[in-house]
Amino acid sequence: MPPQIHQSSLPILNPLLRFSPPSSPDNLKHQRESKITMPKFTVRKLIPLLIFVLSSLSVLRLLRISLKSSSSSASRPFSSITFRSSPAESSQHIRATNASQSVLTEKELKLLLDTVTRRSPCNVLVFGFTPQYLMLSSINTRGITVILEDEPAKITTLRDEVNPNNTRIYGLKYHQMEVKNAYKLLRHARANPACAPNVNNLRQGSPECKLKLRDLPQEVDKIKWDVIVVDGPRGDDLEAPGRMGSIYTAAVLARKGRSNSTTDVLVHDVHRTAEKWLSWEFLCQENQVSAKGNFWKFRVKGQLNATSFCSPETFNVE
C-alpha cells in the first residue's frame, strides 16, 4: 500500500492568485498623476467667454474701418473733387445740389431716348430741365433741341453744359398757373372757344384763354415739333407753378401740321392729379401709345382745323 500523505503538510496553491512586484516610488507617482482629471466646462461657463471674444473682434473691426476711412479722406481732399469731366458726372453734381427736381427712372429714360433715337434727326421741345435731358443733344446731333426753363439757376447751368450748335435754351415764366387753380383753368378752357386746338398763333392769339403762355419764344410757335417733353415747371405743391399751361401748349403744337404728320408728346409725373387731368383733357386717352412708370407717351396727329382736342367718346374729368 502506498504511504498515506497528510494534506496539511502540502502547500495550498491558488491558481487565481497572482503576485506583482513591489511598487517602486516612480510607479506610485504615476498612479497618483493618472487619477488627476481635467475640469469640465459647461455651456453656461462657455457663453460669457464667447461673448467676450466676439465683442473684442467687433471692436477691432470698427477700429480698422475708421482708420481706413480717415486715411482715404486725408489722401483725397474735397477741393480736388470735380464734376466737370463728363456730362454724366456733371449731372450727378447738379442732382445733388437740387434734390427737389424730378428724375426719370431707368425705364422712363429709356422710353424717351428710344423715341428720340427712332425719329432723329428731329425737332425736340422740352418743358423743364433735368440733367438727364443733356443726352438729347448727343442723340439728336443733326436736329434741333429747345429747352424751356423758368428757374434762372438751371438756365445758367444749361448754357455751360450743352452744345450750343444744336440746342437752344429760353427762359419762360408761368403767370397765374398755380397747381391749386388746375381745376378752375380746366373748366375755363372747356367753356372758352379761345382755347380751341386750332389756334393759329399761340404768342399773339386771344388773351382770353388763361392757359396760353405769355412769354413763349417765337421760334417755338413756328417750328413743327416731332417730340415734345413736358417735365416742367414744378408741380409738387399747391403753390407751385403747375404744368397746365405747358401740357395745353404741347397739345396745340402737336396738332399743327398736316394730317399725315405726328408728334410724340411725353408727360412726366402723371401720378399727380393736375398732370393726369390735363393729359386726359388735351392729349386724350385715345392717343396714348405707351406708359413707363410715371411717364405717359401720346402720339398726336396733325389737325389744322380741329375744334376739339378729343373725340366725344373720350372720358373727361367732370
Query: What does the pLDDT look like over 72-128, one tens digit per residue?
Result: 333 333 222 222 334 444 444 344 434 445 789 999 999 999 999 999 999 999 999
Q: Which domain holds residue 111?
A: 103-301
d(CA 213, CA 207): 10
Residues 186 and 273 in one domain: yes
143 & 292 share domain: yes
Rounded Cα distance between 268 and 125, Å, is 14
My answer on whether 145 and 212 are in the same domain is: yes
C-alpha cell belonging to residue 20 = 506583482
Note whether residue 11 is domain-resident.
no
Pairing type for strands 167-171 and 144-149 reads parallel
141 and 68 co-located in one domain: no
- Chain position carrying cell 423758368: 150
Do 274 and 218 share a domain, yes or no? yes
Kindly indicate the confidence band of residue 205, based on its pLDDT and cuts at 50, 70 and 90. low
Crossing angle of helices 244-254 and 182-191, rounded to 10°: 40
Contact 93, 122 (CB under 8 A): no
Q: What percent of the chain has pLDDT over 90?
A: 41
Give bridge partners of residue 262 from the DSSP assignment.
Answer: 301
pTM for this entry: 0.68
Tell me whether residue 181 is in a domain: yes
The pLDDT score that the predictor gives to residue 2 is 47
Instruction: Name the amino acid, one letter, at 81.
Output: I
Indicate the pLDDT class of residue 37, thresholds 50, 70 and 90: low
Domain count for the chain:
2
CB 240 within 8 A of CB 133: no
pLDDT on residue 75: 33
Residue of 146, 124, 141, 130 whose CA lies nearest to 263: 124
Q: Are residues 59 and 182 in the same domain?
A: no
pLDDT for 190: 93
